Structure 1
Amino acid sequence: MSLPDPAAPRKHSRLGLYIPFGLLAVGALAWSAMWLWAKGQAAQQMDAAVADLKRAGYEISWSQREIGGYPFRMDVTLTDARVREPSGWALQSPRIEAEAYMHALGHWMIAAPQTITFVRPQGGPVQVSGKVIHAAVFDFKNRPPSFDFEGVGLAFQPAPGARPFFLSNAERVEFHLRGNSAIDEGLVSLEVKNGKAQLSGLFARIAADKPISIQWQATLTKMSAFTGSDWPGAVRHWTDNGGKMQLRQGGVTAGEALIGAQGGDLTVGEDGRLRGSLKVSLRQAPRALTAMGQTGTIPPETAQAAADVAQAREGPDQVAHATLDFQAGRTTLGPVAIGPAPKVYEAH
């Protein structure tokens, strides 16, 4: 009796092996198509935003634009980029690199690997170089949009013929701007650490080549009114519509000298000079004011009167507390006028 031949073993299907690779290929193709679409959208939206800004008075230009970053980022590189806003401030750089992740295309990181140059409406261009120069911009729905700047190991060089800049270098500089369109306000914050300043008069004798540090944090109201064809026009339109700066905290330290501001409201008069008042604390104030008189920054008799006021208000910590007023084009410390009020723009 013979046994039946066993059935031949079935061959296992390799379909299960190929399906994951097929799905991966389909996914890669779909992602690539989406990235190419997003690249086109980024270029279109950028062009539309530039057109809107130009209609609002901004000047934006570049000689070449490259968009890359596949597969997970969107990178935009601009060559010979320049931005000028209506009030006259401008920023330019031979190369600007911007990057955003595909899942957060509303948050852009910006870097200047070479140098940047900012142009002051009244003072002219200043070239900035450093170890680190980068920024971030986001929340475009607000006016102004949120902006963060950080610079490390910075050097400042005014262009030939430009006015001197008060800093020659700084260990670190941070600048932050936040907008809130719902209440039409902006928050501005500046911090300078261990800066080397171009000082004269008041601080030169006290600082004695020691580093200076600056802190400033203030709220700007009526930000939607800060528009105009140039810097004076924008400031006038802003102040005419009730715009003002509300100081939260401020201070300048240079050597042993200290000026601290604890609060106050500031605006700009028709003469282009600062108006308002600040509550200040002054360390080494009598010495500093006497130095101002000796160097001719203010008349000697005025310096002596102001020094007497400061000394009378000094505490055991050698810090005097007073009010600094800017009215009718003059700066007044207590009851003594010590000089002209700071000029925000040149009135014609």
Structure 2
Amino acid sequence: MNAANASRKHRLWPVFVMPVLVVIAAAAWSGFWFYAASQVDQTVDAWRAREAASGRNYDCAKRTVAGFPFRLEVHCKDATVELKSQTADQAAIAPLTARLGDILVVAQIYTPKLLIAEFKAPATLSQHGQPVMVVNWSIARSSIVGLPGTPQSADIVFQDPAIDHVAASVQTPVARAKQVELHGRIAENSRPDHPAIEAVLELTGATIQDVHPVLTAPFDADIRAIVHGLKDVTPKPWPVRFRELQAADGRIEIKQSRIQQGDLIAIAAGSLGLTADGHLDGELHMTATGFEKVIPALGIDKMLEQGVPQATLDKVAPGVKTKDIDNLFGALDRAIPGLGKAVRENANVGVTAGLNAIGQEATLEGKKARSFPLRFVNGAIFIGPLKVAQTPPLF
């Protein structure tokens, strides 16, 4: 009898082994999770210090950590970002302060170097304590791989972004899009002391006001570039980064770009550098369909057909004065009545014929096109001899 009881007890002990192991594993995992959660503040503070050195100061009114047992969720309520010296002219003016809703940052326990963040709209940008811009979106997400060390890649996506300028409580549209995506990563085979950065910008259904008339109609863009000449990827203000790039004779290589606006399609590739005063300088090789629509898109035909304010003229053809155009056509009318009007009405044909002499015939996506150089000269953009825009300095 005793032998039978002893045999039965001997057979039952394995039944209790698995629950005990599960309890031990759960306790160990819980300890690991709470230890990882305790390190969040330290990691976040180290990242904030790195960003502050680059002129970007982040803060949260309240920060909490949750997500047990398999995730770490850092919830930042009433987030603020103070931006200093992020553009060439910002050093001389007051910093911008962006106030957001909530930010949620998530990391899986088994992939701690991958951080995924969600941002709650809106974001209000203020200067001297007064709102100057409001940014809205339906969904905004970002992901970063490589933190807390050197980031290996970063991505951010906005759906339905809308930027409005604020003046005296009145909001004026600045930019709209269905979707904006920005992707960046360290290029393969680049050296740690001379990293090359691959970047991709994708815009869908974008419109931009008060920059150039051609940008006010919806367009799609896909631009892929590689930045050569960087010393490192540590956080720095953008003007400092661009100044270092120029000193190292670095280049922004446009590997591929495609812009479509209705029937107008343009692709371009080439290389751009920076002048000593921070302006873009270089050349892209562009091929465009619907070349006869380039002139109306740039607004030159409207400029010739009727008088326009000098401010508009400065945008579509910098350097040309309204009085010069009016004097020209006035002289034609005085010489032969009606000639000025006829020239105005047919000027588009003449200018188009002149631009058609630039470059060569080509085919793009099965359509008739022309291929020509797009030159950047000290920040000015030229199609052949025609100056079509002026870009600001980067530092």
TM-score by length of 1: 0.79
- Give distance in 1, aligned partners of 2:247 and 2:31: 51
Q: Deviations over 1:164-192 (max 9, x none)?
A: 7763231x322101125534211110112
C-alpha distance in 2, partners of 1:118/1:53? 18
CA contact (8 A) 2:374 2:382 kept: yes
Q: Indicate the residue corresponding to 2:164 in structure 1.
A: 158
The amino acid that maps onto 2:381 is T
* Cα distance in 2, alignment partners of residues 168 and 109 from structure 1: 25
CA distance in 1, matches of 2:79, 2:22: 40
CA deviation after TM superposition for structure 1 residue 266, in Å: 1.1
Q: Who is 1:128 aligned against?
A: 136
Q: Deviations over 1:67-98 (max 9, x none)?
A: 11111111111112234566527865211111
The answer to whether the 8 A contact 1:227-1:237 is kept is: no
- Matching of residue 327 in structure 1 with residue 333 in structure 2: no
Equivalent pairs, count: 328
More helix by share: 2
Seen in structure 2, the aligned counterparts of structure 1 residues 165 and 187 have a Cα distance that, compared at 3 Å, is: farther
Distance 1:84 1:165, change over 3 A: farther
Instruction: Report the alpha carbon displacement of residue 106 of structure 1 after superposing the two structures with TM.
Output: 0.4
Equivalent residue number for residue 392 of structure 2: 343
Q: Name the CA distance, whole Å, in 1 between partners of 2:147 and 2:348.
A: 49
Cα 1:142–1:192 change in 2 (3 A) is farther
C-alpha distance in 1, partners of 2:80/2:173? 21
Q: Answer yes or no: is 1:250 the counterpart of 2:268.
A: no
Structure 1 residue 256, shift from structure 2 partner? 1.5
State the Cα distance separating 1:41 from its structure 2 match: 1.9
Deviation at 1:163, TM superposition (A): 11
* TM-score, with structure 2 as normaliser: 0.71
Cα distance in structure 1, aligned partners of 2:289 and 2:16: 77
Query: Which one is further off, 306-315 or 316-325?
Result: 306-315
**Residues 30-65 of structure 1 deviation map (CA, whole Å, 9 limit, x = unaligned):** 111111111112221222232233345432222111
SS state at 1:63 partner: strand
Asked if 1:49 is matched to 2:61, the reply is: no
* Residue aligned with 1:319, SS: strand
1:215-294 matched pairs, under 5 angstroms: 215-224=222-231, 231-261=238-268, 263-290=269-296, 292-294=299-301
Percent pairwise identity: 19
**For the aligned residues, what is the CA RMSD?**
3.5
Q: Partner of 2:110 in structure 1?
A: 103
Q: Distance in 1 between matches of 2:234 and 2:171?
A: 25
8 Å CA contact retained: 1:251, 1:260: yes
Distance in 2 (CA, whole Å) between partners of 1:126 and 1:69 is: 32
Gaps of 5+ in 1: 1-5
Amino acid at match of 1:193: T
Matching of residue 40 in structure 1 with residue 38 in structure 2: yes
The residue aligned with 1:10 is 5
CA contact (8 A) 1:86 1:234 kept: no
Q: 1:29 aligns with which of 21, 27, 30?
A: 27
| 1:258-296 CA-partner distances (Å, limit 9, x unpaired) | 2211x2111233454321110001222233215522233
Preserved CA contact (<8 Å) 2:121 2:136: no
Is 1:201 the equivalent of 2:230? no
> What is the letter of the counterpart of residue 288 of structure 1?
V
Counterpart of 1:3 in structure 2 is: none
Distance 1:288 1:246, change over 3 A: same
Match of 1:188 among 195, 199, 207: 199
Q: Provide closer, same or farther for how the CA distance between residues 143 and 268 of structure 1 changes in structure 2, counting only shifts above 3 A.
A: farther
Counterpart in the other structure of 2:73:
75
Q: Classify 1:231/1:18 alpha carbon distance in 2 versus 1 (closer, same or farther; 3 Å).
A: closer
